[in-house]
Amino acid sequence: MLSIFCGAGGLDLGFESVGFSPQMAIDVNPAAIATYSHNRSKATALKLDLAKASPRDLVELWKKNVGASGPVGLVGGPPCQAYSVSNVYQKKNDPRYGLLQRYVKILEAFNAAFGLSFFVFENVPGLLRKRHRRRYALFKTACAKAGFIIQEKIIDAGNFGIPQRRRRLLVVGLSKAKVLADTFSIPEGNTIPSPIDVALRDLPEPAFFSRHLLKKDIPFHPNHLTMVPKSTKFGDGKLRAGTKTGRSFRVLKWGEPSWTVAYGHREIHIHPGCHRRLSVFEAMLIQGFPKTYELCGTLSQQISLISDTVPPPVGAAIAGALCEALKLKARRRRTST
């Protein structure tokens, strides 16, 4: 499997839990590359700017690093900030718009060279808005011309067992030659979002970030640290659990799921106790990461990584459904011969 724009590796972690093996992962962010490799026994992540790299060169890079046998599928999604409804400063010339077309070019190159069975694309529902509709339509048309049957669905990650409401757009392409399209449907999940209690109860207090903070001084987990609560709101008693004031002061509430983990400009949700913001580790648990996973990089980089990732349970559900579709195709092929 090839993973592009791999980030913290949440989508890949879900695929791995079902038995898929990411043989090469690519991202431009050094913290993402360090995180990906740190949590896996085999360092398969490469730092590369996909906005500049030639798709043909990527194919050769795969052959050099992995071998002549191609990936079964391609997974990933380019940075979503350009399409997010929370980005009130969207620009017509945002260079991230070009990454959608770059995704298609990479898909076309790998499918032509190896014959992929599927691709999985994840992004924000904002991509369906009127201002992006033409760009998104061209993306789907190009994927279909590359030989894939397209399915798309907006899902809520909370329906996959995590304590968070998180709507996302999923696009899955199925090879007309290798997958029976009528045997696959993008999973929607079968639960309601869990309350944050399942992730945050009984955790020790985190460390507050400082430039001189040592790893040994961070309790319980290397990512269990947060920003120093400087605003007077944390001490004047005005904050209330379950309330929100803009994007900067959203206070979580025991017994309810979290709002979407998307912390642009460090707008980290506030702990239900109203005395501080969440730690990075707490955000990781809300995203559905296992407690053994660790993020690398500075505090700002960790916040970005956990905000942009796909919750692993979502990846696991998609991977499981794809696995069953691939197995059924193989069984039918055997019985027909």
How many percent of the chain have pLDDT more than 70? Answer: 92
**Residues 53, 106: Cα–Cα separation, whole Å:** 10
Q: How many domains, in total, are found in the chain?
A: 1
Q: Which residue has the higher pLDDT, 92 or 316?
A: 316
Asked if residue 62 belongs to a domain, the reply is: yes
Residue 287 is assigned to a structural domain of this protein: no
pLDDT of 84 reads 46
How many whole angstroms separate alpha carbon 121 and alpha carbon 180? 19
Read off the CATH number of the domain in which 141 is found.
3.40.50.150
Residues 265-280 have pLDDT tens digits of 889 999 999 999 999 9
Q: Give yes or no for residue 336 having a pLDDT over 80.
A: no
List pLDDT tens digits, range 56-107. Answer: 999 999 999 999 999 999 999 888 554 444 444 445 554 556 889 999 999 9
Q: Is residue 236 part of a domain?
A: no
Which pLDDT score, from 0 to 100, does residue 81 have?
52
Strands 148-156 and 167-175 turn out to be antiparallel
> How much is the pLDDT for 89?
47
**Average pLDDT for residues 316-320, to the nearest whole number?**
97
Q: What is the pLDDT of residue 143?
A: 94
Examine residue 98 and state whether it is found in any structural domain, yes or no: yes
pLDDT, averaged across the chain: 91
- Residue 204 within any structural domain of the chain: no
Compute the C-alpha angle 36/9/31, nearest 5°: 45
Over residues 12-38, mean pLDDT: 96
- For 58, phi then psi, to 5°, come to -65, -40
Q: Which domain holds residue 30?
A: 2-189+314-336
pLDDT value, residue 85: 46
Residue 254 in this model has a pLDDT that exceeds 90: yes
> Integer distance in angstroms from the first to the last C-alpha of the chain?
28
Beta bridge partners, 211, equal none
Q: What is the mean pLDDT of residues 230-234?
A: 92
User: Which of 170, 83, 163, 164 has its CA nearest to residue 118?
Assistant: 170
Decide: residue 322, CB within 10 A, 0-12 exposed, 13-18 middle, 19+ buried. buried
pLDDT at 79: 81
Q: Once rounded to an integer, what is the mean pLDDT over residues 294-305?
A: 96
The confidence score (pLDDT) of residue 167 equals 96
Percentage above 90 pLDDT, the chain: 77
Q: Is residue 79 part of a domain?
A: yes
- Determine, yes or no, domain membership for 216: no
pLDDT of residue 145: 94
Is residue 186 a contact partner of residue 170, using CB atoms and an 8 Å limit? Answer: yes
For residues 21 and 247, the model is more confident at 21
Contacts of 107 (CB under 8 A, 6+ apart): 74, 116, 119, 143, 146, 173
- Please state whether the predicted TM-score (pTM) of the whole model is above 0.95: no
Handedness of CA 17, 19, 20, 21 (dihedral sign): positive
- Over range 153-181, report the average pLDDT: 93
> Is 318 part of any domain?
yes
pLDDT at 211 over 50: yes
Residue 248: Cβ-neighbour burial (10 angstroms; 0-12, 13-18, 19+): middle
Q: Which of 51-60, 80-89, 219-228 has the lowest mean pLDDT?
A: 80-89
Confidence at 291, pLDDT banded by 50, 70, 90 = very high
Task: Assign 78 to helix, strand or coil.
Answer: coil
Give the pLDDT confidence of 189-208 residue by residue, as tens digits.
Answer: 998 999 999 999 999 999 99
Q: What is the pLDDT of residues 115-163, one digit of tens each?
A: 999 999 999 998 998 888 899 999 999 999 999 999 999 999 999 999 9
* Per-residue pLDDT at 92: 54
